[in-house]
Structure 1
Amino acid sequence: MEPSGDRDRRPLPELRQQAAEYYRSNQVPQRLEEALNATFYLRPLDLYGHLANYFSKLSKPPVICKIIGRKVLDGVGQPTLEVEVFCTVKNHETSICSIVVSSHSEILENASPEAIDADEKERNDSINRALEWINESLNEMLRDLQPADQHKVDELLGDYFAKKLEEEKERMEIEREEQAAAISAPPCVPAPSAPPGKKKGAKLGKKTSITEKPIPPAGPTEPVLCGSIAIAGLSLAVAKTGATVNNTPLYLYLALMKNQFQDLPTELPVPLPMVTLLSCGKSSSGKLKLMKEVMLIPPTELTVKQGIERLLDIQKQVMRLLDPVGKGPPVLKRISHLGCLITGCDSLEQPLILIQTACRNLGLELGIDVHLAINCAAHELMDYTKGKYEILIGTLKSPDEMVDMYVDLINKYPSVIALVDPLRKEDVQQWSNICNILGSRCYLIAEDASKNIAKLLEDQNANIPKCSGLIIKYTNQTKISDLTELTRLLDGQKHIAILGTSAGESSDNSLVDLAVGLGARFVKLGGLSRGERVTKYNRLLAIEEELAKNGRLRSGENHEFVAFAEEVQTGEELLHALPLTEQGPWSSQHTQPLLAQDQNPVSSLGSTPHLSEATEVKPSEFP
């Protein structure tokens, strides 16, 4: 009987020889033969494991083999899109990851039943069309592509979207022609003209009143191609797949992508959260309409974990002030889809005084221990029949009066360091005025004007007012490469980028990775309630902890604002000082900034007065 050891080794020489001959015939490197020689005395199981580890390094990289789109529900029960990516990994079909992308549709407040039904139909049609694209043509188009080749994937998605957009334009043109042919227009009968010397509608014996300067009309609503959410969903899903197969967190993968896969930054900052505490907008029961969101921003010297703990204490204190008896359910019933408290207020100062009181009860001071931001959403408040903003029920203000009101507000409450959409994007002159007056003391952020990211990149003057930065939402035909390009442009022009959630959010937390990887200054996630909101804050905390553990966490930087007025004056002085030169060979589109102008931060938060100078202000409505 042979020894067991010899019996175990008998097939090894034959196995080694066969493997060596096979891989030598297939031009395997010489080091493989050396590796096989090193396995001569290994036991069979050890040999198989050794060869498997070695050959896995020589295997083909994973490629996309299948993509599945599904209809799922978001945080408010509305349909949205899920995308799952399968890859061929070592000859096996494997599910790598899935994402859920938010819909572009906003929550309609105080809308008619007809409008709500139309919005629901639009949502369903868009998701169903996106599923057709993903599960049919796009599935075939992206098959066998490497998920790490994000540029190639986004290029194909962009071409596909452009083709669908052109088809939609042709379809609408045919429909218009058919309608024009089917409807016979009656002959035009000219209206009787007014007698000479008399104006139509004017009464004799009375002087006509001088009308105010007309406001610019609202720009056309940006059309959203039905099914375009498939583009955003697939681009993000492929990016997450590329990060997964490379065993890299999504935020680091995006940071590499933004850096064009050069050296990874040694340190990454975590964006400051803009936490929505109160909603005093049109959906509330009070007179105040202006403050759709009143947000809290922790100071930069705190970690995100410390900041969120502080903001949670303020939220609890505000809830006690709103419900002094201590009955929890009435307050909890006022939680909005944004995860914040809905409360009715009758003046501009009332919500600010409420937060100020809560901070005092906790021994905190506004402007030092916590800062404020206000989402004004002014485009929702314009009464176009009167040409004014209705900031309170029955209180109307012209665009110029709005600027004066904001100046008064910031003078009394310098703890407000950001105003989001204080005016419509069409009020270009007023945006310029408010930036020149308040730009060195707070951020003036545009959200409504930055919805179409692809259009911003195509036309850098696409109706973007003068401002400090943009709120970016990832949806519709947006692609990951679009975000990286846009944030690079904003960084180069000293503008801030804010990644924001939509009204109908899902529990997918990829947005936080986008904000960290792309170097956003703030992340706007809503309130500290509702699962789809809280899961994103938890992801932000996890990323901060991971960066700190790996020594990659960059400490908080002070807020820096832009002295727009000084910048304009300096630019004019330079213009007069420089001699006239002929225009160079470069096209103007290469030197045109994305927003209204280049900016240099010259003023920091520490130079603004503290709230202690304004705490004696009594509650009252601004004139």
Structure 2
Amino acid sequence: MEPGGRRWQQQQQQRRLQGPRQEAAEYYRGHRVPQRMEEALNTLFPLRPADLYGELANYICKFSKAPVICKLVGRKVLDGVGQPTLEVEIYCTVKNYEKRICSTVMSSHSQIPENASPDTTEADEKERNDSVNTAVEWVNESLNTMLRDLEPTDQCKVDEMLGEYFTKKVEEKKEVQKQEEEAEATLALTSCTPSATELTGKKKAAKPGKKVAVAERTIPPAEPVESVLCGSLAIGGTSLAVAKAGASVSRIPLYLHIALLKHDQDSPEEMTLPLPMVTLLSCEKMSPAKLKLVKEVMLIPPVQLSLKQGIERVLDIQKEMMRLLEPPGKVPSPQLADSKKGRAHNTGKKAPLQALKRISHLGCLITGCDNLEQPLLLMQTACNNIGLELGTDVYLAINCAAHELMDYVKGKYEILSGTFKSPDEMVDMYVELINKFPFIIALIDPLRKEDRQQWSNICRALGSKCYLIAEDAATYISKLKIDQNINIPMCSGVVLKYINQTKVSDLIELTGLLDGQRHITILGSPDGESSDDSLVDLAVGLGARFIKLGGLSRGERVTKYNRLLAIEEELAKNRTLREGNLEFIAFTEESQPEKQLSDVLPPSKQDSLPPQLSQPALQVPSLPAQLPENSTLT
């Protein structure tokens, strides 16, 4: 066959037209091409019909419409603790066919009380059911009609419409409440009885106010709890479902889709994985033990390890913790280990922890403690028994949840049963704690958000040594942002939770604002978590410094750790994984550069601590090799 001949040209043309999209070819095979056009095409390009129709399909697909939303489906499902929540499904029109793209399941907004009364539990369940039922109705009716024919990749437009819809519902709720108040006022005027004033509940509410009058002069009163609009789950669930659909039709991972939205479609060259805060121990606040201050004790792997290596290290510590928490008689009671030699020493003081042999809804072990040192010494013992050292091989973080401990009659925090401390005394206690146990690199909610002066004091005292994180103050994203400022106390960063009416655009805007003000962002799981793993993609795409997912138990939490491991593997394969870092902020009157973690953590070899804790507030003493017998932080 001579190059340039007719047959040779036909074969070259066939090679160029090989590999048509089979799906498009099958679709266009059933459409009749006009006979004259077909004869002309056969004369010019003597090809098989399948090749011809496939090439036509390829050409026509260039002018086809982008996928658009055609249907939303909302339904009631169960979350990880068996409570009702919302699932949102997205259907799109793709090449004239209706196709299910994705779904998302929202996490419940309410925290799970440890000792709730039956009446409170029943009221909470009724409120939750009503909210989910309303959310399902919103999705299947109003939102389904409102978002039809919108492109799922247009997240800003979708979130703008969702925000307008939610604002309209809030105004409707206010109007209904106003009418109810007017009706009650009219009824009170017409009844003309002494008890009429009690109909509004104002007289009854005044009695406890008299009791706490003295306390209110010394501490700021608690801010009113932000009411959750019934059905608000529909807003957050729909926004996240649309984001997942946009990533799916763009054929990219959700984390990359979120990163493109945050950076105005500029693809980042490298991405950093958030460090996991793995909850290992929960000191149940309502247990028979005395300690109330600690809600969670968390482990943070060092940045030098890969995520996979860090998770394996945490699992090793968890196994040793379970061994130490065996009932008395099976194993010796845990004693403080020598951090230098990794051996256990008997201090002559037997105070074994109360092993309750239960797994918390947070996916971690539960135990009761009588003082603040017990869980820390238990963690130190478990690490030393397997040859690890706290402060070098792994770090600790404590979720204090101090807002749950305030006694408003006394105006003090009840950190132990019968032991109370004022906000100023709490600051001194934390300074002493971090000086004594410098392997603690994060305190979450050490104070109420209302104690802003004490937040400032503790940040100036400890900001260069550990992170001071606000979680309760960051629960409701709608209250965090005022103009271009963050409405939170002075702190190192905040824990953001994707709940209720939160939209993807809200998270993108807020994390950008936090980045600009040198705050760290932590994406956190609510107490009532679901099996949806989108939170991990949000954390990676938004560039969060940490992610707080709970423990390494319970499927709804483990599935998120598995997703994080999969993203690490994918980024490493694509050579776009960048190693993270830990930097503390020195809160002083003059701005100072952030310090590296290696500059503020203690050396690996440490000396013993004298019996009396009398060090200055800003001095960092070495980690004790053995705790004095009579030394307790109360």
Partner amino acid for 1:83? V
Partner of 2:498: 474
Q: CA deviation at 1:51?
A: 2.7
Alignment partners' CA distance in 1, 2:61 and 2:75? 33
Residue 93 (structure 2) pairs with residue 84 (structure 1): no
Contact 1:101/1:506, CA 8 A, preserved across alignment: yes
d(CA) in 2 for partners of 1:326, 1:55: 74
Residue 220 of structure 1 aligns with an amino acid whose one-letter code is P
1:409 matched to 2:437: no
Residue 464 in structure 1 maps to residue 493 in structure 2: no
Change (3 A) 1:474 1:18: farther
Contact 1:80-1:127 at 8 Å conserved across structures: yes
TM-score (norm 1): 0.84
Q: Is the 8 A contact 1:284 1:342 kept in 2?
A: no
Q: CA deviation at 1:300?
A: 0.5
Tell me: CA distance 1:211–1:516, structure 2 relative to 1, closer, same or farther (3 Å). closer
Which position in structure 1 is the counterpart of 2:77?
72
Match of 2:628 in 1: 618
Q: Is the 8 A contact 1:494 1:601 kept in 2?
A: no
Given candidates 351, 362, 379, the residue that maps to 1:355 is: 379
Corresponding position of 1:584? none
1:254 to 228, 240, 258: 258
Alignment of 1:197-596 (within 5 A): 214-261=218-265, 263-323=266-326, 333-459=357-483, 463-557=487-581, 559-565=582-588, 568=589, 570=590
1:56 matches 2:61:
yes
CA distance in 2, matches of 1:245, 1:224: 33
For residue 603 of structure 1, report the CA deviation from its aligned partner.
4.8
Partner SS state of residue 564, structure 1: coil
When residues 538 and 618 of structure 1 are mapped into structure 2, their CA distance, relative to the original with a 3 A threshold, is: farther
The Cα shift of 1:19 comes to: 8.9
Distance in 2 between residues matched to 1:98 and 1:90, nearest whole Å: 20
**Do the aligned residues in 2 keep the contact of 1:126 with 1:226 (CA within 8 Å)?**
yes
Partner of 1:135: 140
Instruction: Please state whether the residue corresponding to 2:85 is helix, strand or coil.
Output: strand
Aligned equivalents of 2:548, 2:476: Cα separation in 1 = 18
Helix, strand or coil at the partner of 1:524:
strand
Q: Secondary structure, in 3 states, of the residue corresponding to 2:228?
A: coil
* Aligned-partner Cα distance in 1 for 2:280–2:63: 54
Gaps of 5+ in 2: 1-28, 196-213, 332-353, 607-621
Q: What is the CA distance between 1:343 and its match in structure 2?
A: 0.2
Q: In the aligned structure 1, how far is the partner of 2:227 from the partner of 2:143?
A: 22
> Contact 1:561/1:605 (CA < 8 Å) preserved in 2?
no
- Relative to 1, partners in 2 of residues 1:53 and 1:381: Cα closer, same or farther, differing over 3 Å? same
CA RMSD of aligned residues (A): 2.5
Question: Is 1:124 matched up with 2:129?
Answer: yes
Instruction: Show CA shifts across 1:253-284 (max 9, x none).
Output: 000000011x2110000000000000113143
Verify the 8 A CA contact 2:464 2:600 in the aligned structure 1. Answer: no
Give the equivalent residue in structure 1 for 2:3: none
Structure 1 counterpart of 2:159, from 151, 154, 158 = 154
Contact persistence 2:215–2:411 (CA under 8 A): no
Identity %: 68
Residue 96, structure 1, aligned to residue 101, structure 2 = yes
Structure 1 gap ranges (5+): 1-11, 22-32, 189-209, 572-598
Deviates more, 1:367-376 or 1:613-622: 613-622
> Structure 1 CA distance, aligned partners of 2:510 and 2:304?
28
- Distance in 1, matches of 2:537 and 2:168, equals 31
Q: What's the TM-score, normalizing by structure 2?
A: 0.82
Q: Deviations over 1:343-395 (max 9, x none)?
A: 00101010000000011011100000000000000000001111110111111
- C-alpha distance in 2, partners of 1:67/1:446? 35
The 1:271–1:38 alpha-carbon spacing in structure 2 relative to 1, beyond 3 Å, is farther
Contact 2:492 2:585 (C-alpha < 8 Å) held by counterparts? yes
Check whether the contact 1:289–1:393 (CA below 8 A) recurs between aligned residues: yes
